[in-house]
Amino acid sequence: MRLFVLDIGNSRATAALVAGKTVRRISHFPSPPGPGALRAVVPDPDAVAVCSVAPAKNAAWQRALSRAFPRVPRRWLSHDLDFGIPVTLSAPAQTGLDRYADAVAAAETCGTPCIACDFGTATTFNLVLPRKGFVGGAIAPGFGMWFEALHAGTAQIPAVPPSGALRIPCAGNTADALRLGSRWGFRGMVAEILYQLSQAVPQKDRPRIAYCATGGWAPRVLKDCGLELVHLPHLTLRGIARICTLNPPSP
């Protein structure tokens, strides 16, 4: 099945062709484009699979998809679908659908127990256990937010691009101090959250926990912060496609 997969995020939407386990023709859109741009990603999909964490954008994207693929069945992810793994959450409808997609794809790719870290606008940590399935996790600020918040909330800290790993014991200027604090602080935050989540895994299963990273900030975070996680760049897209396969849309 050739799927047009769309992940509507807070900052942008990502579209791709997913066929089996192959993800190709990845495109990023800040807003819904014209039909031609969408059909350039997948000219003739068998189905359209959509995951959204930005409800305010859904109506515009629905119109764009209707114009681009008027006769192609669509599956919008929702909390009541078959995810192929158990879901053990106290408030399933309050959990972002992208986190479901990450959990499903991580369990399929890495096995369980696993923790999928999604380094996007926010940083989400999604824990999947062997018998209980997706049990939740944690949410923290995204890497970019560390830089944006300090600049926005202070009078003299400049706007510093969130890049450049510094391996020095002390920073001699404000920009380097911000980069150094972010590198150490973000790495420490991620390591502590992963440790705490690992304590929710039965002790006998802890040695085989799989840790993986995805999301737009993942390459920068892994490089700058020195975190040793398996990078799976298309994890969310794969998860959306997997859920759509389990819940095929009606023609």
Number of folded domains in the chain? 2
Helix or strand or coil: residue 191? helix
- Boundary residue ending a domain (48, 76, 104): 76
- Boundary residue ending a domain (76, 109, 137): 76
- Residue 166: per-residue pLDDT: 60
151 and 105 share one domain: yes
Hey, what amino acid is at 205? D
- Residue 13: per-residue pLDDT: 95
100 and 133 share one domain: yes
- Residue 183: per-residue pLDDT: 80
174 and 249 share one domain: yes
101 and 59 share one domain: no
122 and 246 share one domain: yes
Considering the candidates 46, 80, 98, 224, report the single residue annotated as catalytic.
98
The DSSP result for 69-115, as a single string, is -TTS-EEE--TTS--SS-B--SSGGGS-HHHHHHHHHHHHHH-SSEE
146 and 180 share one domain: yes
- Boundary residue ending a domain (25, 49, 76): 76
- Residue 192: per-residue pLDDT: 96
Question: In terms of Cα–Cα distance, which of 36, 11, 37, 41 is closest to 25?
Answer: 41
CATH number, domain containing residue 26: 3.30.420.40
Tell me whether residue 98 is one of the annotated catalytic residues: yes
- pLDDT (tens place) for every residue of the chain, 251 residues total: 899 999 999 889 999 999 988 999 999 999 999 999 999 999 999 999 999 999 999 999 999 999 999 999 999 999 999 999 999 999 999 999 999 999 999 999 999 999 999 999 899 999 999 999 999 999 999 988 887 777 677 767 777 777 665 676 776 777 788 777 878 888 899 999 999 999 999 999 999 999 999 999 899 888 877 788 999 999 999 999 999 999 999 76
The domain of 167 spans 81-251
